[in-house]
Chains A and B, each alone.
Chain A
Amino acid sequence: GQQVQQSPASLVLQEGENAELQCNFSTSLNSMQWFYQRPEGSLVSLFYNPSGTKQSGRLTSTTVIKERRSSLHISSSQITDSGTYLCAMELNYGGSGNKLIFGTGTLLSVKP
């Protein structure tokens, strides 16, 4: 089954509204990351966040490893925030190294 569950699958906001995106994991993990995929397809890292809370501008990521969940809060959304937000969990496979498994993403659309 799907090891990384993201919610909501899609979200429409009016400019200026806040958003809370969720990521839940079905297994123990080493760490997790949040990514933003631009509408044209390129991917950028937002947060490497193995635990606790990290903030960058209007974005805040909170990870609670013991509860196998992470959230991404977007405050005062802007039209340029539109795109897909992906979370990924990192698993250690001992002699086979580390794998990163992605969720299916949250498609965010911010309207004027």
Chain B
Amino acid sequence: EAAVTQSPRSKVAVTGGKVTLSCHQTNNHDYMYWYRQDTGHGLRLIHYSYVADSTEKGDIPDGYKASRPSQENFSLILELASLSQTAVYFCASKQGANTLYFGAGTRLSVL
């Protein structure tokens, strides 16, 4: 079973502050994804990566940066957190044409 670990599990941030969400996977998967979930919107893709040291924009990248320093780690960075970025964030990984494995999620509240 693929293991995807997110940290922190929850966070309260102040508007304008910097937030970093971390994701670690132990199955040597090529692909890693960051999604946000809001009520009524399902899961929306923010950034993804299919190789270390490279990231791609998803459907809603504005206000977010991503970093993939190694095969195992994928971070999501909010340089200037805003109220509208309050959401639950999920990291996921997969290998090729195969099942997607999710982390447990990070609940972010921006006040």
Q: Show the binding face of A for B, using Cβ within 8 Å.
A: 30-31, 33, 35, 41-45, 48, 50, 86, 88, 90, 93, 96-105
Contacts and interface: CB of A to CB of B under 8 A. Distances in A.
Interface residues of B, number: 26
Interface in B20-51: 31, 33, 35, 40-45, 48-50
Interface in B53-111: 56, 58-59, 88, 90, 92, 97-102, 104-105
A30 B96 CA distance: 12
Contacts of A86: 42-43
25 contacts: A31-B97, A33-B99, A41-B88, A41-B105, A42-B102, A42-B105, A43-B90, A45-B101, A48-B99, A50-B97, A86-B42, A88-B43, A90-B97, A93-B56, A96-B50, A97-B31, A97-B49, A98-B50, A100-B45, A101-B45, A101-B59, A102-B44, A104-B40, A104-B42, A105-B42
Interface of B is mostly: strand
A33 B33 CA distance: 15
A88 B100 contact: yes
